Amino acid sequence: MKEIRNIAIIAHVDHGKTTLVDRILHQANLFRENQEVQELFLDNNDLERERGITILSKNVSVHYKDTKINIIDTPGHSDFGGEVERVLNMADGVLLIVDAFEGPMPQTRFVLQKAIELGLKPIVVVNKVDKPNCTPDIAQEKVLDLMFSLDATEEQLDFPTVFGSSKAGWMSDHWTNETTDVTYLLDSILEHIPAATHKEGTLQMRITSLDYSSYTGRIAVGRVTRGELIPGSRVSLVKRDGTIVKSVAKECYLFEGLGKEKTKDPVPSGEICAVLGLEGFDIGDTIADIEEPEGLTPINVDEPTMSMLFVANNSPFFGKDGKFVTSRQLRDRLIKETEKNLALRVEETNSANAFLVYGRGILHLSVLVETMRREGFEMQLGQPKVIIKEIDGKKHEPVEALTVQVPDEFSGKVIELVTLRKGEILNIEVNQDRANLEFKIPARGLIGLRNQMLTATEGEAIMAHRFAGYEPWKGELGVNRNGALISLETGTAITYSIDKMQDRGRFFVDPGEDVYAGQVIGEYTRQDDLTINIIRTKKMSNMRASGSDDKTSIAPAIKFSLEEAMEYIRNNEYLEVTPNYMRIRKIYLDEHERKRMDKAISE
């Protein structure tokens, strides 16, 4: 039997994980000479390709020198930490990839901490050494400092380092020593990552992730930790609460190359496999022996830090764009998502049309919303809120560690923006005209910060944050959004009206767009709201006034991305999301009702 190495690839978002996996797969000659190969083929859903980030972990394998290497590509963004924590349970070692220019970033710390707690042996890959002005040696030193601060063992601190460039397709023992391929990295994996050991005894396999096929239904993926799994055999499912359910492992698939291959042979311990035919399983359950079932400890996942209200669409334009618009369809879809998305929770509310969804952050929730709108769902979203806890009788809120890299001349503006939102400055480092600023900031202070930060720094700021813990409530934030321009009537926006109203604020709609009464069509220049009519056309007369009939020039409408819109809305507004449109609206569309409600709240 071949030796097996199980290795997870971890890194901060955009440090080159998926590109490196591409190179390893090419090295192992997984493709025919004439096969057309796309870049980053592990980012295989549209959302991952468009955003350039990994959202779901993937399993692939390569054969090198009579050894099978199972590679697990993990997300780099801390919002998908639930995904990372689970899959690290399948690995015996990790490849930690660090950008030679940026060094370890806050989310590198997050994933590395999980790997060290599990006792995994790391190999550090200093990537992108061909970047101008990069400092590979300093990056390596920073990784050592980071691991030391995370209480790594002596064996973990004695890590091998590989230098190279995934994009250029080479790895070697030193960054000045350029080679032609990544064999040095593969040899390092064989040398330093322990081989998966075969444990005798009754069957144990923890389900760490889920796959889904429209033909066969849900597929359980995990690593056999003890004994062996025989395809077609009867097994016990040990649930989280200790209950035992009898089931059958109808088919077993091993990960070979980019796909799965069906196997008739027993799957040995140490191997990662996918099991079809089980019923009623969840992530964290154990597949165990039919006669003597023994469960493994279930996986603990960090708590969600943010909540958001999902409401069935009831705007005047509902049902015009999407296929799924009822509250029942929305509820079923959200419940289905919780089966595979461990860090997500859904709660029913007093209203049959509204559901409270808890997640790890704006990005985590927005990926769910974006996936649903592409499937044809229409929904409305309430303002994102952080989850407040009561600890020892006092109100506590989640706090994040924030790192901002920015040209030195803008550091004053960044500090001012963050301290306005109750952030505390922890550290300032200046290196070659770039300042590295570290803060502690309430999680609610991050909502809407990215846009302001990019505007203030002319797009130069690089922001990254990770959850640091709960701290006592910091008080009200010193930030206020300007008021809204609200449409008075339903109809089509007219160029003439928008032109006449341009001094009132900035518009979110273009001429010719359909709007409805109560829709937020722009941002007012003052703090309170203003209802305006942009549907009124110019009165026709046969008199021509010189100069007034010149062409109008209208400032382009502001178009938000989904995350920006989610961060922008206030507590008396909804974001209406359909497959092709995003509209911000007031919860109460009627102006008199809106004023009555605002008055009731203020009293």
**Bridge partner list, 540:** none
Alpha helices by DSSP H, 243-361:
327-340
DSSP 252: E
- What is the DSSP secondary structure assignment for residue 102, as one 8-state letter? T
Query: Which residues neighbour 20 within 8 Å (Cβ) at sequence distance 6 or greater?
Result: 9, 95, 97, 125, 127, 166, 182
Burial 449-478 (b: 16+ CB within 10 A, else e): bbebbeebbeeebebbbbbeebeeebeebe
Residue with tokens 């040990």: 238
The whole-angstrom separation of Cα 352 and Cα 268 is 48
Burial degree of 394 (CB within 10 A; 0-12, 13-18, 19+): exposed
Find residue 505's DSSP bridge partners.
524
Annotated binding site: 14-19, 127-130
Amino acid at 70: N
Report the chain's terminal Cα–Cα distance, integer Å.
75
Residue list for the binding site for GTP: 14-19, 127-130
- Residue 511 phi, psi dihedral angles, 5° rounding: -55, 140
Helix, strand or coil, per DSSP, at residue 203: coil
For residues 586 and 486, is the Cβ–Cβ distance under 8 A? Answer: yes
How far apart CA 406 and CA 202 sit, in angstroms, is 56
CB atoms within 10 A of CB 44: 12
Q: Which two tokens stand for residue 263?
A: 């196997």
Q: Give the Cα separation of 343 and 361 in Å (integer).
A: 10
Find the Cα–Cα–Cα–Cα dihedral 244, 250, 256, 257, rounded to 10°: -90
The residues with which 99 forms a beta bridge, in sequence order, are 127
Q: Which amino acid is at 92?
A: D
Burial group, residue 202, by CB count within 10 angstroms (0-12, 13-18, 19+) = middle
Find all residues with CB under 8 Å of 358, minimum gap 6, and list them. Answer: 304, 306, 307, 344, 345, 346, 347, 387
3-state SS string for 485-530: EEECCCEECCHHHHHHCHHHEEECCCCCCEECCCEEEEEECCCCCE
Q: What does the alpha-carbon distance between residue 163 and residue 173 come to, in Å, rounded to a whole number?
A: 6
Is-contact 459 447, C-beta < 8 A? no
